[in-house]
Structure 1
Amino acid sequence: MADTRSIDGNVTGDELINGKTPPGRGVNLLAALTALRGAFLRADNDEVNAWLGRIQEGRAQASDMQAITGIRGAQVQSINSTLEDDSLTLTEAKANNISADTFDVMSRLEQTTQALQVMMSSERQVLNTSLLDFLR
């Protein structure tokens, strides 16, 4: 009864840095930072502005990934809480079943004891009657 369902807890480095998988924005953060450095070294203002826009997209991409990680963490905590509640419920149900079985056994023993007492009483009456008949 193996269950193959799983919830990812974190995002991979590739998802964060390259942003290739949804909801990534396709921004390679390291390449953008390297290109921005080059633009600064060349003192090319237009290129710096272009790369700053790309880095803003990368920042938004990192924020998206952080949000996804938070959502996944909340899902894992919720499932863990549900599993703990289910475990407690099953433990209580097991305890109730054990108590119910004990009660059932005690009831049956009491019924059997009463039946044996009635049988012994009847047996004494038969023996007493037979003994009187024998003595007459």
Structure 2
Amino acid sequence: MYKLIILFALFSQSLFAGVGGIEGGSVHFQKDSTWVNMVYSRTLCYKEKAYFAKSKKCKKWEEDSDNRTCVKSKIETIIQPMHSTRQRCKKYADDRCVLWETVPFTQKRDRIVKFKDEDGNVLKVENLRVKSCN
């Protein structure tokens, strides 16, 4: 029994190796203000110059004086074009942006992903590609 517990502990540690973080492995869905991680997501895919994923969206909120709680949600398909634009600050004054500009925003299908431990040390580096949608 003791050996079984030790074996289980080692197995569970290997499952969560790299939980410290993943760098470079997410697609930003701008309209939905969310990031989808290509390593963990089972729904993220690419088709005809766009990314698709399933995301849980809140449809009904309840609010009190301190909190806002989602009481009804629905899974929806979200879409992000591979090529789009974004806003960035062009000029600062007193640590505040005083001039914004629109710049191209391209998210590549092929990514170099770094898996890190809790201390930020790189455990491994992989070249990954967002899978094709069926």
TM, length-normalised to structure 2: 0.20
More strand by share: 2
Structure showing greater radius of gyration is: 1
More helix by share: 1
TM, length-normalised to structure 1: 0.20
User: Which one scores higher on RCO, CA 8 angstroms, separation ≥ 6?
Assistant: 2
